[in-house]
Chains A and B, each alone.
Chain A
Amino acid sequence: AQSVTQLDSHVSVSEGTPVLLRCNYSSSYSPSLFWYVQHPNKGLQLLLKYTSAATLVKGINGFEAEFKKSETSFHLTKPSAHMSDAAEYFCVVSDTPRGGYSTLTFGKGTMLLVSP
């Protein structure tokens, strides 16, 4: 079974300061991990993904995430927040296929608030 825990429901930062959104996962096998972003009244958009290649993954808009197997973590970071980064972020895990098909399990989301 797979699960994902986003440790913070809300994170507030000032524009220009670093962003850290935390995610821990559990998986019976080697997982694939993703971060999606959702802006208000929009669908989710893929930020980045980890699929057993390099452990440090770079995504769009300056975000990156590091896969740490020993800590079962996949935290999302950005060196300097922009106002446009204000959105909800979802950590997602996918495990070995069930009946031949994998599905994605979404975390509950972290709302990122960016103040001027």
Chain B
Amino acid sequence: DAGVIQSPRHEVTEMGQEVTLRCKPISGHDYLFWYRQTMMRGLELLIYFNNNVPIDDSGMPEDRFSAKMPNASFSTLKIQPSEPRDSAVYFCASSVGRGIDNSPLHFGNGTRLTVT
């Protein structure tokens, strides 16, 4: 079991550029979550999918953010255009069920995004 795989581990970009973060969930997990972690706001849920379908995107900060899950083994989080306030660590997590009664959330190691 390779765990949840995120890429890249670090991303440094200039304001206005497009950023794409990638996630490969654990095989067989039917839920996928994107979180953002900052010192000021802690860990925030951005969006989650069930069987590749977006269920709740109310945490997505604004239209500059979009997420897709074209198949069960891949998801992307895109920011276009990026802004300095988007600098954070972005985590992807997957689970069987909602991470409550079934299996826990399994987190990737995160992507540290810096927008200058």
- A contact set with B: CB distance below 8 Å: 32, 34, 36, 41-46, 49, 51, 90, 94, 98-99, 101-104, 106-109
Contact yes or no, B101 A106, CB < 8 A: no
Contact yes or no, A103 B48, CB < 8 A: yes
A67 CB to nearest B CB, Å: 15
With contacts A32-B100, A32-B101, A43-B4 known, is A103 near B45, CB below 8 A? yes
With contacts A103-B56, A106-B42, A107-B42 known, is A43 near B100, CB below 8 A? no
Q: Does B115 count as interface, using CB distance less than 8 angstroms?
A: no
B71 CB to nearest A CB, Å: 21
Contact yes or no, B109 A104, CB < 8 A: no
Q: Does B12 count as interface, using CB distance less than 8 angstroms?
A: no
Contact yes or no, B105 A42, CB < 8 A: no
Contact yes or no, B42 A101, CB < 8 A: no
A-B contact count (CB 8 A): 53
B47 CB to nearest A CB, Å: 11
Contact yes or no, A104 B4, CB < 8 A: no
Q: Which residue of B lies closest to A32 (CB)?
A: B100
Which of B4, B43, B93 sits near A90, CB closer than 8 Å?
B43
Which of A41, A51, A109 sits near B100, CB closer than 8 Å?
A51
Additional 7 contacts, C-beta under 8 A, given A43-B109, A46-B104: A43-B106, A44-B107, A101-B56, A102-B100, A103-B48, A106-B43, A108-B42
Contact yes or no, A43 B99, CB < 8 A: no
Q: Which residue of A lies closest to B92 (CB)?
A: A43
- Supply 20 A–B pairs (Cβ within 8 Å), ascending by A: A42-B109, A43-B4, A43-B91, A43-B107, A43-B108, A44-B93, A45-B107, A46-B105, A51-B100, A51-B101, A90-B43, A94-B98, A94-B99, A94-B100, A101-B50, A101-B56, A101-B98, A104-B45, A106-B42, A106-B43
A41 and B55 CA atoms in complex are apart in Å by 29
Instruction: Name the B residues within 8 Å of A94 (CB-CB).
Output: 98-100
Interface string of B63-83 (1 = CB under 8 A from A): 000000000000000000000
Contact yes or no, A103 B109, CB < 8 A: no
A3 and B43 CA atoms in complex are apart in Å by 13
Q: Which residue of A lies closest to B98 (CB)?
A: A102
